[in-house]
Amino acid sequence: MLLKDKIALVTGGSRSIGRAIALGFAREGADVAVNYEQHPEAAKEVVQEIERLGRRAVAVKADVSDSAQVRAMVQQVLDTFGRIDVLMNNAGIVRRVPFLELTEEVWDRVVDIDLKGVFLVSQLVAQHMVMQGRGGVIINTSSVSSEMAQANLTHYQAAKAGVYMLTRGMALELAGYGIRVNAIEPGLIETDLNRVRLTDPAIRQDRLASIPMGRLGSPDDLVGAAVYLASDMSAYATGSAVRVDGGQTIWI
């Protein structure tokens, strides 16, 4: 019960990594607000699973790149639970496009969700944490792509590198308020975003060849790092990034 009676908001919490972390927080004693944008039934299922664990939960719809929707989401969480102790910025998208074919529309959508969304939600939640006077924790999902280049992902890599430096800047400015800000850098995690692509045996084998542990990650592999960063076990950690990548970045 490392998060006993904490209130957590998980963006992109209805599926894959967000779902696993939302349930992981609940198993450790937290009540959880599950943000979603496009999958209300999946969010409802996560809420029901959390409630079966004996914790409170609510599903909140919002596009994290839209400031008005973010304000409404945060207000709904505050109206339901009274405060926010832990923010897990997990919402993100990937669009594989060669750089020479990358459109402004695709660039904007990926950067808006993956980077701007982290800024919008974090700033508003941090303002409430300061007003609450209890400190708090913000965890951002970056990626090993913040420092490892791959073809067709220039826009995604730029956004995730931005998340890493946003994390460090926020950590510096919020430390005096008792708010810790850290990041998780997942490696290749099999999720709804890449599962179809990874069914190609050649692609799957090529990606496995770059991972010393010899397997793809699963969303559950990230839960331990998220709980650690959300709990007092990491009370002296801020501005850091925890890699969970099966050793993938050992090669660089």
Residue 42: inside a domain = yes
Q: Pull the structure tokens for residue 196.
A: 């179809």
Domain ranges, residue 37: 7-251
| Count of beta carbons in the 10 Å neighbourhood of residue 68 | 9
Residue 57: inside a domain = yes
The CATH number of whichever domain residue 75 belongs to comes to 3.40.50.720
Residue 2: inside a domain = no
Q: Pull the structure tokens for residue 231.
A: 């709990």
What is the mean pLDDT of the segment spanning 205-209?
91
Residue 1: inside a domain = no
| Sequence-ordered strand ranges (E) for 200-249 | 241-244
pLDDT of 195 reads 83
The overall average pLDDT reported for the chain is: 96
3-class secondary-structure state, position 57? strand
Residue 86, strand partner residues: 8, 137
pLDDT of 252 reads 59
What is the mean pLDDT of the segment spanning 183-208?
90
Within 8 A by CB and 6+ apart from 216, the residues are 188, 189, 190, 198, 204, 207, 208, 246
pLDDT, tens only, 122-175 = 999 999 999 999 999 999 999 999 999 999 999 999 999 999 999 999 999 999
- Compute φ and ψ for 249, nearest 5 degrees: -80, 0
CA distance linking residue 93 with residue 126, whole number of Å: 23
Residue 184: inside a domain = yes
CA distance linking residue 105 with residue 119, whole number of Å: 20
Active site residues: 143, 156, 160
Residue 242: inside a domain = yes
Is the Cα dihedral 198, 143, 231, 52 positive or negative?
A: negative
Domains in the chain: how many in total? 1
Q: Which is nearest to 242 in space by CA: 162, 181, 197, 176?
A: 181
Residue 150: inside a domain = yes
pLDDT, tens only, 211-227 = 999 999 999 999 999 99
CA distance linking residue 76 with residue 96, whole number of Å: 34
Within 8 A by CB and 6+ apart from 125, the residues are 9, 74, 84, 87, 136, 138
- Compute φ and ψ for 111, nearest 5 degrees: -65, -35
Residue 70: inside a domain = yes
pLDDT of 47 reads 98
CB burial of residue 199 (10 Å; 0-12, 13-18, 19+): exposed
